[in-house]
Amino acid sequence: MVGGINDPPLSSGGGGLWVLTPSGSAPGETRRKSEMLDSLLAFGGLMLLRDSVEWEGRSLLKALIKKSALCGEQVHILGCEVSEEEFREGFTSDINNCLVYHDLFRDPLNWSKTGEALPGGPLGALTAMCRRTDPGPVTIALDSLSWLLLHLPCTTLCQNLHALSHQNSSLGDSSVQQVRVLGLLHEELHGPGPLGALSSLAQTEVILGGTVGQASAYILCRRPQQRPTHQTNWFSILPDFSLDVQEGPPVESQPHPDPHTSLVDPMTHLTFNLRLSKKEREAKDSLTLPFQFSSEKQQALLRPGQGQATSHVFYEPDAYDDLDQEDPDDDLDI
Amino acid sequence: MAAEATCGAGAGSTGSLAAAVGMSNVTSFQRRGPRVGGADSGGPRLMSIAGTRPSVRNGQLLVSTGLPALDQLLGGGLAVGTVLLIEEDKYNTYSPLLFKYFLAEGIINGHTVLVASAKEDPAVILQELPAPLLDDSRKQELDEDIYNHKTPESNSKMKIAWRYQLLPKMEAGPVSSSRFGHYYDASKRIPQELIEASKWHGFFLPEKISSTLKEEPGSLTPGYIKLLQFIQNIIYEEGFDGSNPQKKQKNILRIGIQSLGSPLWGDDIFCTENCDNSHSLTKFLYILRGLLRTSLSVCIITMPTHLTQNKAVIARVTNLSDTVVGLESFIGSERETNPLYKDYHGLIHIRQIPRLNNLICDESDVKDLAFKLKRKLFTIEVRDFYVSYIKG
C-alpha cells in the first residue's frame, strides 16, 4: 500500500496540503470508518468511480451519496441504468427524502409522451443541471457516465461535465468548489480514448479492484496546483451503505516488486570500480599529490640551505659541444 | 466577451515598470543609426523591440520562452513567427508551468498577451503567473540553491582540480547584460499592477460558444474557427502584421493556447479512435502558422498528446509545429521510486527544432535532459544519474 506523498504546492494558491495518513497500521482493527469517505468528499469537482464487472462501484456511489446527504448537502441523481426503486433501495426514508431523482431509465427517448420524461433527453438533463441556480453545496451523481458516453458524443459530454463541475466558481474563489459531481464509469466498456479524456477532466479518480474477498480503492487525487497524490484503501460496504475501512491482505500475498533488487542492478556490470574499501579510501586520502602546496613544501622552499639539497648542475661537455657561447659558427671550417 | 484590459498607458509605463524589475530595452550590440523614438524613422527598428534579440547564428529575431535553460536548448530562444508545441505530461502538472513562464515573460517585457483556453478563465490564468525574480534576489536564490545542493559534496574540497571549487555547480544563466531571459519564482504570484499595466486579451471557449452548432464535415470545429477569427482580428486591429504604419512602436504578440485538441475544445481527435473530423486540428495548426508567419507574433500551445496512441496524429501535429518539446513526468510511473531518478521530477525531450532560413537546425548535442521543480525554480539539467547515485 502506497502512502500519500506530502509535497509542497506548486504555487501558493492551492488550498492547504492534503496529508494522507496511511491506514492499517494495527492489524485487525477497524479504523476510522468515515475517514476514507471524508477524504474523498473533502474536495469538489468531478470524481470518477471506475468499476468493472468483478468489482462493482454502485454501492460505493450510494455510500458517498448517503454521506453527502447526511452532511446536509443537496443531492441530485441522474439515473440511467437502473430503475428508481432499485436505486433507492437500502436508503433510509430520511435520506430518500433528500434525494432529487431525475429518471432517464424509464423512458429515455420520451416515447410515452406523458410529460414525465426529462425534456431533451440526456443532453437536456445535463444542461438543465448546469443551469441550476440554487446556492449552497450540491452533489450530483451520474449513474452512469458509461450510459451517457454511449448516447452522447464524447466531446459534448466532456464539455458539459466541465461546465457542471465548475459552476459557481468565481474568479478569486476557485479553491472552494461548491459542486461535486460523482460519475460512475464502467471501464471495460470504453476504449482508452474516452477513458483518458474523462480521467484528465476528473479531480479525483477512484479505481476499484481488489483481491479475493476484499475490495480496494486506488484513489488518485489531482489538485489544480499541486502534484497528484495517490493511495490505496481496502474497504467493504455494509448493508446500510456505510463504509468499513479495513486492513489490507497480508503483505506476502501482494506481489510488490522489491525496490532493493533494482538498487544493485546498475552497478554489477561495470568494468571499473565505483566503491572504495576503507583501506583504499585511507590510502587515497593520505596520498600527496605532486602539485599540492603543502606546508612541508613551503618550509622546504623558505629554508633552502638547511641540509636540503640545493640544486647543482653537473655538466660534462661532449665532443661536439660548443663552449663559446658568443660565436655560434665557431666550429665551422670556412 | 473577450476580456480586454483597457490600458491607457502604452509602452511608457511598461517601460518604467519593467525598469523596476531591472530590464533594459536594448541588446548589448547597439547599432549607431537614427534614433528609434522618431515616428518617421526609416531605419531598421526590429532590434529595438523590447524583449527580443537577433540570433547569433542567422539573425533571426528571437524571444525568450521564460526559462533561460530552455532558451539555450532551443538555440538562443524562440523565433518570432513560430509555434512552440509542448506535449503535456500525463497529469498536466508541469506543462502549465511552462505555459505560465511564457506568458509571464511577455508581461515583463511589455508584449501583448493573448490567452486562449477552454478549461480556465484567462483572467484566472493571468492571476496565477509566477513573480519575476529581481536581480539581487536571483543571485540569492542561486547561492542558496548551490549551498543546499548536496551539502556533503560541497564540504569535501576538491584536491586536484581545486581551481574549480569556486565555480557554481549550476548553470549561472544568461551572462549578457541585456535582460533577455528572466527567472521566476514559482511560489509567488505576479504583482497585480504588472498585469493591470499590461495589455492582454482572453479567449474563454465556453463564453464564446453558447449553443451547440452543427458543424459541417470536413471543416474546422466551431471553437477553432472562433479562435482563429479572434486571433486574426487582434493581429489586424493592433497592427502586428504591419497593417497600421502609424504605429509608434512595434511590439510582439504572445499567444498562449492551453490544451489544444482536448475534448473541451470540441475536438474528438484524442478521445475517439476513428473520429469523423480528424483533420480539424491539423487544419487549425496550418492556418495558425500562416497567421503567425505574417505577423510579429509567437505562440505556445500545450497539447495532451498522451491521450492518443495514434502515432500518425502525433507525427502530423509535430510536422505542422515548429518547435516541439515533450514533457514526461515520473509521477505515477515506476520511475518515481527508482533511486536512480530520485533527484528529478521528469524528463524533457526536445523533439523538433525548426530550420528557419537554414539548411540545418540548431540542435544541441545533449539529448538526455531531465527537469526538476525546486521550491522556486524550474531547472533543466543533463541527466546525471550515475553520479548522483554514487554520492547517495
| pTM of the predicted model over 0.80 | no
Which of B157, B271, B390 to mutate to probe the A interface, most A CBs <10 Å? B271
Q: Which residues pair with A221 in a beta bridge?
A: A204, A229
Residue in B closest to A7 by C-alpha: B375
Identity of the residue in A13, A192, A259 whose CB atom sits nearest the CB atom of B309:
A192
CA quadruple B338, B340, B344, B347: dihedral positive or negative?
Answer: negative
pLDDT at position B143 is: 56
Q: What is the pLDDT of residues A225-277, one digit of tens each?
A: 778 888 888 888 888 888 888 876 765 444 444 444 444 456 666 777 777 78
Q: Which single residue is written with the C-alpha cell 566503491? A: A275
Q: Which residue has the higher pLDDT, B336 or A112?
A: A112
Residues of A in contact with B267 (CB under 8 A): 155
What pLDDT does residue B372 have? 84
What values do phi and psi take at B132, rounded to 5?
A: -75, 150
Please report the pLDDT score of residue A142 as a whole number. Answer: 92
Quick check: helix, strand or coil at residue B326? strand
Distances (CA, A) of B41 to A219, B45, B267, B370: 63, 8, 47, 46
Q: Is pLDDT of A68 > 50?
A: yes
DSSP character at residue B249:
S
b (16+ CB within 10 A) / e for B107-124: bbbbbbbbbbbbbbbbeb
Window 164-193 of A, Cβ < 8 Å to B: 171, 174, 191-193
Residue whose grid cell is 458516453 = A149
Give the best residue of A12, A17, A155 to mutate against chain B (max B CB count within 10 A): A155
Q: How far is CA B60 from the centre of its chain?
A: 17
- For chain A, percent of residues with pLDDT exceeding 90: 19
Beta-carbon contacts below 8 Å between A and B = 99
In b/e form, how buried is each residue of B310-349, taking b as 16+ CB within 10 angstroms? Answer: beebbebbbebbbbbbbbbbbbeeebeeeebbebbbbbbe
Torsion of CA B306, B311, B313, B316, to 10 degrees: 120
Percent share of chain B, pLDDT over 70:
69
Please report which confidence band the pLDDT of residue B88 belongs to, taking 50, 70 and 90 as the band edges: very high
Interatomic CA distance for residues A20 and B322, integer angstroms: 43
A-chain residues near B304 (CB < 8 A): 200
Q: What is the DSSP letter of B383?
A: -
| Cα of B271 to nearest chain A Cα, Å | 4
Instruction: Report the 10 Å Cβ neighbour count for A96.
Output: 14
Q: Touching check for A286 and chain B: CB below 8 Å?
A: no
Parallel, antiparallel, or unpaired for β B297-303 and B253-257?
Answer: parallel
Asked whether A234 and A248 are in contact (CB, 8 A), the reply is yes
Nearest to A13 among B128, B262, B339 (CB): B128
User: Which residues of chain A does B93 touch, with a Cβ-Cβ cutoff of 8 Å?
Assistant: 10, 227-228
Using a CB–CB cutoff of 8 Å, tell me whether A25 touches chain B. no
Of B177, B180, B234, B172, which Cα lies nearest the Cα of B203? B234
pLDDT tens for each residue of B172-227: 443 333 467 888 888 889 999 999 999 999 999 988 886 666 666 678 889 999 99
CA B297 – CA B221 distance, rounded (Å):
24
Q: Residue B271: which of A162, A174, A193 has the nearest Cβ?
A: A193
Asked if A158's CB is within 8 angstroms of B264's CB, the reply is yes
Cβ–Cβ < 8 Å for A133, A157: no
Chain A partners of B272 at a C-beta cutoff of 8 Å?
Answer: 154, 193-194
Cβ distance B264 to A159 less than 8 Å, yes or no, reads yes
- Say yes or no to pLDDT of A13 above 50: no
d(Cα A160, Cα A302) in Å, to the nearest integer? 86
Average pLDDT for chain A: 76
From the list A11, A228, A259, the residue facing B186 with the nearest CB is A11
Instruction: Report CA dihedral (A304, A308, A309, A311) to the nearest 10 degrees.
Output: -30
Interchain CB distance below 8 Å, A10 and B373: yes
Measure CB to CB from residue A263 to each of B189, B264, B339 and give the nearest one.
Answer: B339
* Maximal C-alpha separation, chain A: 135
**Cβ neighbours around A84 below 10 Å, total:** 15
Question: Per the structure block, which three cell numbers stand in for B66?
Answer: 521564460
| The predicted structure's pLDDT at residue A252 | 47
Q: Which chain B residues contact residue A263 at CB under 8 A?
A: 339
pLDDT digits (tens, 9 = 90+) for B100-112: 999 999 999 989 9
CB < 8 Å & 24+ apart, contacts of B214-218: B215/B277, B217/B276, B217/B277, B218/B277, B218/B279
A286 C-beta neighbours (distance < 10 Å), count:
7
Report the pLDDT value the prediction gives residue B260, as an integer from 0 to 100. 94
**A222 min Cα distance to partner chain B (Å):** 8
pLDDT band (50, 70, 90) for residue B374:
confident
* Nearest CB neighbour to B119, from listed A162, A171, A227: A162
Contacts of B340 in chain A (CB under 8 A): 266
Nearest CA in chain A to B157: A285
Cβ–Cβ under 8 Å, residues B306 and B88: yes
pLDDT the model gives residue A260: 46
Across the strands, what pairs with A278?
none
For position A318, what pLDDT does the model report? 80
pLDDT at B318 over 70: yes
DSSP B4: B
What secondary structure letter does DSSP report for A15?
Answer: -
Higher-confidence residue of A56 and A289: namely A56
Q: If we measure between CA atoms, which residue out of B320, B356, B318, B326 comes closest to residue B75?
A: B356
Query: Is the CB of A200 less than 8 angstroms away from the CB of B307?
Result: yes
pLDDT of residue A314: 81
Q: What is the pLDDT of residues B263-312, one digit of tens each?
A: 999 888 888 877 777 889 999 999 999 999 999 999 999 999 999 888 99
- pLDDT tens per residue across span A180-231: 899 999 999 998 889 999 999 999 999 999 888 788 999 999 887 778 888 8
Q: Do B271 and A230 touch (CB under 8 A)?
A: no
Judge: A266–B340 Cβ closer than 8 Å, yes or no: yes
Mean pLDDT of B142-153: 49
Residues of A whose CB is below 8 A from B308? 193
